[in-house]
Amino acid sequence: MKPITRLRTTMPDFSRRMNALLSRETDTGADVQNLVADIIADIRQQGDAALCRYTQRFDGWDCTPATMLIDRQRMAQAWESVSQEDRQALELATRRIRDYHQHQLQQDWEITDAQGFTLGQRITPLDRVGLYVPGGKAAYPSSVLMNAVPAMVAGVKDVSMVVPTPGGEINELVLAAAYTAGVQRAYAVGGAQAIAALAYGTESIHPVDKIVGPGNKFVAAAKRQVFGQCGIDMIAGPSEIVVVADSGHAQWIAADFLSQAEHDEAAQSILISTDEALLDAVEVAIGEHLSRLPRAAIAAASVANHGALVLVRDMAEAAEVVNMIAPEHLELAVREADALLADVRHAGAIFIGHYVPEALGDYLAGPNHVLPTNRTARFSSPLGVYDFQKRSSIIRATPQALKHVGSEAIHLAHREGLQAHALTLELRLSEGTGGD
């Protein structure tokens, strides 16, 4: 195994080296924008015909409007076809994800202020949501649950799913997950063409209000381009993990380090520690794990090109490095985890202690595994119920309330040169109550 990149915060050029390490290619579709734009235009103009044509071209099966539809009955068949162990795991994950997201539900509220205005907020769910589930190299039933369950908790009435099916092969476990999560219908299509179909609609697919779910660079590019026509969750890049450790079993830490590296050659794993001997032991353990893992070639490429072992002087410095990275996943395998947690400002999901590997969060801890990547945790949050709800402002006023603030509002309207705005207030103040 090639030696893993080593960095020390005492290096005079540490910040430059770290920024260079973090500036990896995120593969979010910049190089395919024109191709994706053409695909979207074809879907808008030709609907199902273009959608099936691209599916035949890229996935290699005879797609028609009838054969691309996967209804609830077909999902129920998949549910019955998977093993009892599969069903038990899916049910447990669904229940835990639902229970966690129930706590995120927002509520209507109103207050009455001293001037007599009643102000508030009304919460309503989105009408339609489209879920993109990756296919191809791997199938991810966990992604179905993490995207669909919060939408259902939010009260979305219409949840559709698109899933690529190379060679026409449908993953039964993905359909079983869709069934238990409550997805109403699915379509055996993927890629930029599926994103365009969800955004603009075709003869068979209703346009949705929001598209959620990860995908390859064609999917990422399409989501960028349809944003505004509908909402999107985020542009997800390759997965990443930061482990901060000052103690613990090297074999455990090494496995956690590799948990994201096995996803993708472009994934990134970083271990931060105050103990150089621990870094040495973990590097040896990483090599041992790679000699046995089925996806070792992918993980090894990720570690060689994007991985790092970082030596810091203390936990305060560790927190500074974490905030610089703003990782998707952060494990705090340290003695004083809560003290370190207080200094962490930027991270998608934080796993505290030695018995909470990131994999628990991927499947059934409860919090969402759809997380901000590529340092976007500086300003983004995990997917949640709030992504499927809208807020409307509520304003009520009595005649007396209007008198309290009306003259100042009129003044501001005139200062902006908007005389009709001012007139709406002047008439009410001069004529008194003209309505209810």
Please give the positions annotated as active site.
328-329
| Token pair recorded at residue 23 | 């500036």
| Token pair recorded at residue 58 | 């890229």
Rg (CA), the chain: 26
Distance in angstroms (rounded) separating the CA atoms of residues 237 and 8 = 26
Distance in angstroms (rounded) separating the CA atoms of residues 238 and 226 = 21
SS3 string of the chain? CCCCEEEECCCCCHHHHHHHHHCCCCCCCHHHHHHHHHHHHHHHHHCHHHHHHHHHHHHCCCCCHHHHEECHHHHHHHHHHCCHHHHHHHHHHHHHHHHHHHCCCCCCEEEECCCCCEEEEEEEECCEEEEECCCCCCCCHHHHHHHHHHHHHHCCCEEEEECCCHHHCCCHHHHHHHHHHCCCEEECCCHHHHHHHHHHCCCCCCCCCEEECCCCHHHHHHHHHHECCEEECCCCCCCEEEEEECCCCHHHHHHHHHHHHCCCCCCEEEEEECCHHHHHHHHHHHHHHHCCCCCHHHHHHHHHHHCEEEECCCHHHHHHHHHHHCCCEEEEECCCHHHHHCCCCCCCEEEECCCCCHHHHHHCCCCCCCCCCCCHHHCCCCCCHHHHEEEEEEEECCHHHHHHHHHHHHHHHHHCCCHHHHHHHHHHHHHCCCCC
Q: Give the residue from 32, 58, 370 showing the smallest Cα distance to 189.
A: 58
